[in-house]
Structure 1
Amino acid sequence: MTDSLFPELTNYDAFLSTLKQRIRTAQVRAALAVNKELVLLYWQIGREILQRQQEEGWGTKVIERLAKDFKREFPEMREFSARDSKYMRAFAEACPDESFVHQVGGQIPWRHCCVLLDRVNVIEQRIWYIL
């Protein structure tokens, strides 16, 4: 679209379109990076819970206590409920290799990881659904 009052803006629409696409691409890449970091964090928390339960004999009550302490410290974050902490533990137990989380686990949102934990028992099938 040309504007006779501003002839220097002849290529403006194409320029704007290119910039908008770059912004959208950057937003998606940023969201994926955040998701990957969160999934890795949740796996690490789950691994720590699992290790403490195995090595120090902590029971399931520790998850309830952690959830209360998390809620007190991070009231705006819903991801640290007792239910989510149990999923974190289950995720670490189901996927003991951290490289899996880096390569595959961070490609889907956390809630999808939880659904796969509930519905799919075989790691190869989980990978198939993720990819």
Structure 2
Amino acid sequence: MTDNPLTKKTDISHLVNTISQLIEQSRQQVRRNVNATMVQLYWEIGRLIVEDEQRGKTRAEYGKAVLKNLSAQLTQQFGKGFTVRNLRNMRDFYSKFPKRHALRTELSWTHYRTLLRIDNEAARNWYMNEAV
């Protein structure tokens, strides 16, 4: 009687549920880690752009040409995600959040792009804390 296939299926349902939960938790953790890494990457890219611009070449025309060329080369090498607009967002990200250790890993790049639109630093910090 214990060899009944229906009984065996029921017996492992708890095991399947437990493993399924573990897989889902792991997938969520991977998404959080990837997101945090991407936010840090975009901050670093922004820092490099700002530092390049501050080498005495801050004219707007120079900046436009650099971002356009940078976008073309990065897009060719790595694919989507490196438009001129997104590179500008990365530059602004570094400018408005200059302390890397102060970044909130719970926030996604989409959160930070939204926060970049807020000019008032106190308001931006308030919204950042509320979003967490």
Output the TM-score relative to the length of structure 2. 0.83
What is the distance in 2 between the residues matched to 1:110 and 1:124?
A: 15
Shift of 1:64: 1.3
User: Which residue number corresponds to residue 25 of structure 1?
Assistant: 25
Change beyond 3 A, Cα 1:55–1:111? same
Selected match of 2:70 from 60, 63, 66: 66
- For residues 67-115 of structure 1, the C-alpha deviation after alignment (integer angstroms, 9 at most, x for no partner) is 111111123x2x11000000000000001111012xx1x3222122111
What is the distance in 2 between the residues matched to 1:119 and 1:69?
A: 30
Moved more, 65-74 or 116-125: 116-125
The amino acid across from 1:93 in the alignment is S
Trace 1:112-131 onto structure 2 (pairs within 5 A): 112-119=111-118, 121-122=120-121, 123-131=124-132
RMSD of equivalent CA atoms: 2.0
Contact 2:115 2:128 in 1 (8 A): no
Trace 1:31-50 onto structure 2 (pairs within 5 A): 31-50=31-50
What is the distance in 2 between the residues matched to 1:99 and 1:47?
A: 14
User: Which residue number corresponds to residue 91 of structure 1?
Assistant: 93
Q: Which runs of 5+ in 1 are unaligned?
A: none
Contact 1:120 1:126 in 2 (8 A): no
Identity of paired residues, percent? 24
Q: Which runs of 5+ in 2 are unaligned?
A: none
What is the distance in 2 between the residues matched to 1:56 and 1:11?
A: 71
Q: State the number of aligned residues.
A: 124
Output the TM-score relative to the length of structure 1. 0.83
What is the distance in 1 between the residues matched to 2:87 and 2:94?
A: 11
What is the distance in 1 between the residues matched to 2:50 and 2:126?
A: 23
